[in-house]
């Protein structure tokens, strides 16, 4: 599943291509995604101007004219492809995961502009679209979500208060969107490695100095991943022909059995399952 950095790369690609453009036509080929595409989706989007494209957590937000919004979540396998109608582009994928070229199957939604179209592809159909009709409803939509690591609300006071008396392990908290928004499985493992914290450690037993490490390293890991174009795993290219490169910087993720990269540490990277998710950590420096 794409995490915050990957979704941010999609946002940047979309914002560059469709900001200030008017939707000419909308085609829905399959309404049966994770949640059914609203019956008024076509009429809602048609003739609307895309003011800009924003993001919160792992959600893309198409900001429309008249204070209206279209939310998009990519789910497990959703990708956004941009097809230029005038100059055909080989690489259509806005990010670095899944196929770099437009697949022939599972193209469920097309949003058509004057010289290009945006196509939503999703083989597993866990993604979804959602209509939001005002900024107040948009704010309400994310009320239950925790702050993003980049927001000032994600601070030492917030973490200390949230973890008080909590018995759940720290890895599960980092991927809990009610606690912090946007961190997923890959980046949780990387954050905990940099912080020298065992993923199985109970949240309320972690020391305050380690909370500070989580704060710092959450930002550090995500910023670096965004700069590297996210984690493509298989080195696919995006619409600009560039490759995502953060997977080359993994310290622990998918490195089970290999020697720890930390200087003067001879530990071996372990792979364990926490709540049905693969978790990677060093058996020596993450005690």
- pLDDT tens digits, 229-278: 765 544 444 555 555 555 678 999 999 999 999 999 999 999 999 999 99
Catalytic residue, candidates 17, 48, 58, 171: 58
Residue 2 bears catalytic tag: yes
pLDDT digits (tens, 9 = 90+) for 22-63: 999 999 999 999 999 999 999 999 999 999 999 999 999 999
Catalytic residue, candidates 2, 5, 100, 199: 2
Ramachandran bin of 253, using left for φ above 0, alpha for ψ from -120 to 50, beta for the remaining angles: beta
CB 173 within 8 A of CB 207: no
Residue 277 bears catalytic tag: yes
Task: For the chain, give the mean pLDDT.
Answer: 92
Residue 58 bears catalytic tag: yes
Q: What is the pTM of this model?
A: 0.90
Catalytic residue, candidates 141, 224, 237, 277: 277
Residue 3 bears catalytic tag: yes
Catalytic residue, candidates 3, 6, 8, 190: 3
Q: How far apart are alpha carbons 282 and 287 in whole angstroms? A: 8
CB 108 within 8 A of CB 125: yes
Q: How far apart are alpha carbons 217 and 251 in whole angstroms? A: 13
Q: Which domains are assigned to the chain?
A: 4-141 (3.20.190.10), 156-282 (1.10.8.50)
Least Cα distance to 70 among 101, 113, 40 occurs for 40
């Amino acid at each position: 599943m794409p995490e915050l950095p990957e979704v941010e790369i999609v946002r940047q690609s979309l914002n560059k291509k469709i900001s200030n453009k008017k939707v000419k036509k909308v085609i829905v080929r399959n309404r049966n995604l994770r949640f059914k595409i609203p019956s008024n989706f076509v009429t809602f989007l048609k003739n609307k101007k895309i003011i800009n494209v924003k993001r919160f957590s792992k959600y893309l937000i198409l900001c429309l004219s008249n204070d209206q919004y279209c939310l998009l979540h990519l789910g497990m396998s959703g990708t956004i492809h941009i097809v230029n109608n005038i100059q055909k582009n080989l690489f259509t994928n806005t990010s670095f995961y899944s196929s770099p070229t437009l697949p022939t199957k599972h193209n469920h939604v097309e949003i058509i502009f004057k010289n290009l179209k945006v196509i939503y592809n999703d083989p597993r159909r866990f993604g979804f679209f959602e209509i939001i009709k005002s900024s107040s409803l948009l704010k309400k939509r994310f009320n239950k979500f925790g702050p993003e690591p980049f927001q000032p609300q994600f601070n030492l006071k917030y973490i200390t208060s949230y973890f008080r008396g909590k018995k759940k392990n720290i890895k599960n908290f980092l991927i809990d969107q009610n606690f912090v928004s946007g961190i997923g499985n890959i980046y949780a493992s990387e954050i905990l490695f940099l912080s020298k914290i065992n993923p199985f450690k109970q949240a309320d037993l972690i020391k305050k100095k380690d909370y500070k490490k989580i704060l710092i390293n959450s930002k550090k890991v995500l910023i670096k991943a965004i700069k590297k174009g996210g984690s493509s795993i298989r080195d696919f290219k995006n619409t600009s022909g560039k490759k995502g490169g953060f997977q080359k910087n993994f310290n622990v993720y998918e490195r089970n059995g290999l020697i720890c990269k930390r200087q003067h540490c001879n530990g071996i990277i372990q792979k364990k399952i926490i709540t049905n998710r693969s978790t990677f950590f060093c058996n020596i420096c993450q005690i």
